[in-house]
Amino acid sequence: MEKTSEITIVATAIALNNEELNLRREQETLVAETLKEKGCIRDELHQSKDDPRVLVFVETWASEQDWRAHMQGEAIKKFQASGAARWIADFTLHRMTKIAG
């Protein structure tokens, strides 16, 4: 049962070989800008200790509407314009609802 209107996003990007530092740099900029946005409660970027190509965003937004506004906003537009997508081999995104804890 959903307890809140908050939404958590878990997004995993796998960088192309030897491009993880380039991708990480652009993702770190994205996080810094996203944290200033309306409705952003948490935005963290994690890197796998086992495979440095694996970079994972964990974001919590006050509402899905706030997250969707972010996805159309300036921070995402700047990230896309940076060309960072050329360093991504695979990407998955999950919209999550907190159910315990």
Does residue 101 belong to any structural domain of this protein? no
Q: Which whole number is the average pLDDT over 4-21?
A: 96
67, two tokens: 């997250």
Taking a C-beta distance cutoff of 8 angstroms, is the pair 11, 91 a contact?
yes
User: In angstroms, what CA-CA distances link 95 with 16, 63, 78?
Assistant: 24, 11, 22
pLDDT > 50? residue 2: no
Enumerate the β-bridge partners of residue 89: none
Does residue 2 belong to any structural domain of this protein? no
Q: Which whole number is the average pLDDT over 15-34?
A: 97
Does residue 47 belong to any structural domain of this protein? yes
Position 3 confidence tier, pLDDT thresholds 50, 70, 90: low
Domain containing residue 73: CATH number: 3.30.70.100
Instruction: Encode pLDDT of 70-101 as tens digits.
Output: 999 999 999 999 999 999 999 999 999 999 98
Does residue 50 belong to any structural domain of this protein? yes
Domain count of the fold of the chain: 1
User: In angstroms, what CA-CA distances link 1 with 16, 41, 59?
Assistant: 38, 21, 20
Full domain range(s) for residue 51: 7-96
Local structure of residue 60 (DSSP, 8 states): E
Taking a C-beta distance cutoff of 8 angstroms, is the pair 14, 44 a contact?
no
Does residue 80 belong to any structural domain of this protein? yes
The reported pLDDT for the residue numbered 11 is 98
